[in-house]
Amino acid sequence: MGMISEFKTFATRGNVIDLAIGVIIGGAFGKIVSSFIDDVITPLLLKPALVAAHLSKIEELTIFGGVKYGMFLSAVINFLIDAFILFLIIKAINATKKKEEAKPAVSSSPTQEQLLTEIRDLLKKQ
């Protein structure tokens, strides 16, 4: 088998395609979450603190005349908000999965035990 045909087999395998789709969807979802955090959550949470410090952005915080610890603080806050939002999303997804699993499966055909019980009962009647 030539290298090109091996590559074609590898690239068209379901796992690779599923992974590629997952990466693309994950990238798009990451942009949505980042925008939500940067444009909605962070301004709502930090606005009072920034006004009190007479700053417009947290990144402007400095110490010792030039060490921009505000950039680090911003990254930490963004990470914590990201993690919390993703936690809530995963928790909601897991809750819906549990509801689906909790529904009993309706069996249209009787089980083997039910059939044997019916046969036994019919034999007892004879």
Distance of alpha carbon 46 from alpha carbon 44, whole angstroms: 6
Condensed to tens digits (0 to 9), the pLDDT of residues 37-93 reads: 778 877 787 777 778 877 777 777 777 777 777 778 878 887 888 788 778 888 888
| Distance, CA of 14 to chain centre | 21
Query: Can you give the pLDDT at residue 26?
Result: 83
Query: Can you give the pLDDT at residue 14?
Result: 67
* Average predicted confidence (pLDDT) for the chain: 79
Which DSSP symbol is given to 63?
A: B
User: Which domains are seen in the chain, by residue range?
Assistant: 3-102 (1.10.1200.120)
Query: Can you give the pLDDT at residue 2?
Result: 82
Q: Which two tokens stand for residue 96?
A: 């819906």
At residue 75, the 3 state secondary structure works out as helix
End-to-end CA distance of the chain: 68
Q: Which two tokens stand for residue 120?
A: 């036994």
Query: Can you give the pLDDT at residue 1?
Result: 64
73 in Cβ contact with 61 (< 8 Å) = yes
Query: Can you give the pLDDT at residue 68?
Result: 76
